[in-house]
Structure 1
């Protein structure tokens, strides 16, 4: 929270001045306390401190109260806000970071899905002509270039390219 922004429009009301003084006096300690509660999450700590000061401004009579009497109340409000944040996150499904693989999150790949996919692919490959199936096996499944597959099959490279093209086109149609 930027203290310079509060009341920068000229005449400052006593409540705004009291809030600014409160932030200057207790803000750093409150921020450190909340940051420790949140395990170092600076963004959430800033949000909690801002919400605490906002509630303090709306609930307390800052002009008449001595600021030291407000400090324990502010720390209790901040602690309650941290607890509420934790509870609301616990009630929702966990957020997944797209940069972390699912296996690291405890999710295991399902062997049944892999088996079903292989059955579907095997049936789709049966729909191909023997020449097209042979070209796919010599290139994709053997991890060869079209030149290497042409040498292994004893046919021109252009023929291998053509057969792979038509085989993939047929597979695409069959798998729809």
Structure 2
């Protein structure tokens, strides 16, 4: 047992520093390198037959074990853990630039209408009111509400065509 401890101490003195630099180069972390070198030496201690081998064989065995430990750690679930976030990321939304330009165009065209025409179009199409509700709101007969809406839409269509809208 004393002989194995002395051999392990010699192994540590001969290869630990070189092995540590190699592992730091592989994984980029000094603390991880400390752990890998320690585990490599522990495996050498558990395999007493390796201590009796040729020094070149021992060196290559230790570097191979260390390399495999680094690879195993990189593939482990501990390395690939998920990090929780407080809020989920925003979902991508469609480009709404065209919608914005259409709104600006409609607002501009609505501004050219008379106040009565603009009010009836806004109440009918943006507030969703029926012709009977329009007649009650503006205190006009239902037929007048229908014809006012018709002429307002016609004037709005003309204003939109003047701005290049053809649909």
TM bucket (normalised to shorter chain) is: 0.3 to 0.5
| Larger Rg, first or second structure (1 or 2) | 2
Give the TM-score normalised by the residue count of structure 2. Answer: 0.47
**Normalising to structure 1: TM-score of the pair?**
0.45
